[in-house]
Structure 1
């Protein structure tokens, strides 16, 4: 299993810490030390699982919209996007639990024309105001037909660090990794009105693989 590079320091730190705890418990409580250390290694197993980075092959056409993350569709509605588009569009939001893969991937092909980090609060990621108030990033990709697609990584109540590798003028390839969010979080995508949407509220998405729509 491939692990994401964002987990390297955390995994090494936890491995050393839990090993020290295990040795100390074994030394001072020889009868119960191993048993008492078991929860730490279960936790370590969960952390390893969280930072998994599965290799996924994307098969998409020029106008395909690919799921940027694993998770559940929690918002699909017409909204006004005030930061970049400044017009009505379709908001599609996918919520991730700590059990989901947290690699974030480009949803469309094109060129990155905007990338910005916004400090903010840490409301639960499914809160209606989390898109506006939480710590987040905004990335804009302009497609070959000059359509602007806006998407955001949004921190949740548990997630306290968003990693965004996108820079202006980067080439965006649908399904290719552009960032990582540590623990529970959400990704919002803003698409033009009239976009074909192939998912509905409650659907489970597979990041980097699943087609969730198509630009017109």
Structure 2
């Protein structure tokens, strides 16, 4: 809601935009914010990866033993998701973003594994003796890293993610493509820039940035910039 209000100017414009999008397309605003902002998308991916892994670990999904099967399962649980997150991030934002996101997701998951294997955490309903590996003695630096992981995860979740979301909502960019179309108003036809809200047949329903109303556009072509107005912190 904040993203739409700041981008189109608030008031009745927000209502008109959401009506033009139709309810099925409303989640596109949040999705658009995530996939068009590399930093927000990457931090969200890392947080989700860590939260999901911690939730499964709390239910006993991460084995703490030293048998080969336990090691393979633990490695798979620790590596597969960060790798997938990194690949998706690389496809959206480029290889360096993907690499950084995958490594960050792995580092936070690794800290959770250390916590459970040392017994500092244990799955719900398990006794302390049965939930950790008594023979596991991680290096002191790894213990410190595991403690730092908790702080980093907390800061990413309760500080960085809300701040980045708020900044993305007020950055003055559209959450989706801006297209240049021919718009007919009565007997007059003119070129206009539209924020694409939905597609109807061969045309586009969008927010007309010139007329400040919902318009139907034909013969639309994509524009390079998604900027509608100056970011809030520069206005």
TM-score, normalising length from structure 1? 0.30
Which one has a larger percent strand, Structure 1 or Structure 2?
1
Give the structure with higher Rg (CA): 2
Say which structure is richer in helix: 2
Relative contact order higher in (CA < 8 Å, ≥ 6 apart): 1
TM-score by length of 2: 0.29
